[in-house]
């Protein structure tokens, strides 16, 4: 079989349709129109397996039958082809449905904290940063070892954080059993739930894209949604909690869960996010155990 050399070739290969046009959206993403009138999104990877990980995550989230997820048309080590989401406006009604659907997605569960989606690789990605899906039996120790400390070390090695500053984050990790709230079973997480990955569809539903899916604590998805903002956020959270109440004190734990995405962003984008991570850590340390 001939190698795939362009987004149009990838779209034709994985859909079995002829291509009538393409429109580059970025260096890695292209919108491709098929001869049946449908449009697909074609993402070009770098051969590291990120496209395979994303495809596995999309399928796992879709299998829950809750939040809308664009269908995967095909993938390999370098290419991912999915249906395009026709976008509409961010409405209060869609926010209500999204809050309920997100609660149901989390309740679909995962085999363990850190579990990769079925068929997904252990070595995955969150955005452009490597993310290892290594399992653990309890959330505090797993979160510290596999989500916070790896990115903290990378930030220190890069000079983005000083050793003395890093000690504050390490102290949070040492106190996680006190700070984490009541134990919960592993939830099925989107894993990279910032506003850019929340698409308000023309069908009046929210669709989620670009996951870093894994088994984790459901408050982590909510904390990331809070970190970068989202239309109708209060309504989303209210409807989530009506469907699946959160343990008392959840709002005070938001910063603990935000350490992971903030440190990832510090590694990728620099000092500004490192300072936000330090603020979150120091705020958490002031909380009583």
**Range 204-207, long-range pairs (CB < 8 A, 24+ positions):** 204/88, 204/91, 204/93, 204/94, 204/97, 205/68, 205/94, 205/97, 205/98, 205/101, 206/67, 206/68, 206/94, 206/95, 206/97, 206/98, 206/101, 207/67, 207/68, 207/69, 207/70, 207/85
Given the residues 192, 203, 221, 238, the one annotated as active site: 192
Residues 50, 65 contacting (CB under 8 angstroms): no
Q: Report the b/e string of 136-145 with b at 16+ CB within 10 A.
A: beebbebbbe
- Which tokens hold the place of 147? 């989500």
Is 192 in the active site? yes
Distance CA(248)–CA(140), nearest Å, equals: 17
Q: Which DSSP symbol is given to 136?
A: B
Q: Which residues are the active-site residues?
A: 192
């Amino acid at each position: 079989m001939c190698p795939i050399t362009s987004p149009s070739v990838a779209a034709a290969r994985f859909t079995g349709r002829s291509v009538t046009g393409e429109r580059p959206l970025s260096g890695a993403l292209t919108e491709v129109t098929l001869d049946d009138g449908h449009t697909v999104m074609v993402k070009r990877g770098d051969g590291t397996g990120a496209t395979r990980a994303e495809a596995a995550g999309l399928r796992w989230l879709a299998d829950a039958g809750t939040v809308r997820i664009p269908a995967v048309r095909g993938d390999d080590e370098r290419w991912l082809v999915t249906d395009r989401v026709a976008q509409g406006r961010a409405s209060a009604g869609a926010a209500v449905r999204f809050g309920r659907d997100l609660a149901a997605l989390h309740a679909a569960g995962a085999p363990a904290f850190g579990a990769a989606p079925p068929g997904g690789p252990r070595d995955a990605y969150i955005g452009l940063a490597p993310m290892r899906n290594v399992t653990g039996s309890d959330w505090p120790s797993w979160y510290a070892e596999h989500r916070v400390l790896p990115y903290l070390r990378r930030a220190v090695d890069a000079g983005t954080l000083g050793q003395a500053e890093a000690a504050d984050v390490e102290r949070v990790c040492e106190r996680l059993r006190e700070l984490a709230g009541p134990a919960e079973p592993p939830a099925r997480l989107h894993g990279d739930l910032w506003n850019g990955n929340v698409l308000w569809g023309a069908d009046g539903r929210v669709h989620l894209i670009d996951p870093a899916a894994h088994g984790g604590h459901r408050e982590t998805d909510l904390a990331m949604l809070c970190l970068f903002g989202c239309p109708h956020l209060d309504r989303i959270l209210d409807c989530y909690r009506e469907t699946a109440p959160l343990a008392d004190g959840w709002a005070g734990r938001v910063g603990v869960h935000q350490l992971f995405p903030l440190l990832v962003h510090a590694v990728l984008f620099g000092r500004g996010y490192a300072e936000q991570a330090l603020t979150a850590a120091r705020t958490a340390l002031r909380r009583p155990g």
